[in-house]
């Protein structure tokens, strides 16, 4: 079964709307970054040949995690 048809089946079974392959891929990358995955790990997972491609598409998501990074440092330093 082609990936497109499989995603439609999976989303129907999960009772969630199917928004297309690109939305699903973007959501996957977003969740990876939000969970703490590095940009390199996301690049490998999405099979981008160059990390610049990953950064161009998902770089804005990394900016959103900068605050979390600072919070981790502050917590580590016990401030």
The tally of domains found in the chain comes to 1
Task: Please give the residue range of the domain that contains residue 69.
Answer: 23-76
Residue 72 resides in a domain: yes
Tell me how far the alpha carbon of residue 71 is from its chain's centroid.
21
Is residue 6, in this structure, part of any structural domain at all? no
Q: What is the pLDDT of residues 20-76, one digit of tens each?
A: 888 888 989 989 988 889 999 999 999 999 999 999 998 887 766 667 777 888 888
Lowest mean pLDDT among 2-6, 8-12, 52-56, 64-68: 64-68
The angle, 0 to 180 degrees and rounded to 10, between the axes of the packed helices 51-64 and 39-46 is 130
7: in domain: no
Whether 16 is covered by a domain: the verdict is no
67 domain residue, yes or no: yes
Q: Classify residue 11: in a domain, yes or no.
A: no
Q: In terms of Cα–Cα distance, which of 46, 40, 9 is closest to 25?
A: 46
Residue 70 lies in a domain: yes
In this prediction the pTM is: 0.66
Residue 40 resides in a domain: yes
pLDDT tier at 79, thresholds 50, 70, 90: low
């Amino acid at each position: 079964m082609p990936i497109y048809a499989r995603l439609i089946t999976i989303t129907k079974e999960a009772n969630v709307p199917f928004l297309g392959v690109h939305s699903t891929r973007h959501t996957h990358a977003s969740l990876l970054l939000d969970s703490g995955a590095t940009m390199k790990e996301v690049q490998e997972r999405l099979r981008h040949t160059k990390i610049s491609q990953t950064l161009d598409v998902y770089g804005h998501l990394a900016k959103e995690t900068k605050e979390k990074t600072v919070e981790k440092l502050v917590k580590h330093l016990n401030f």
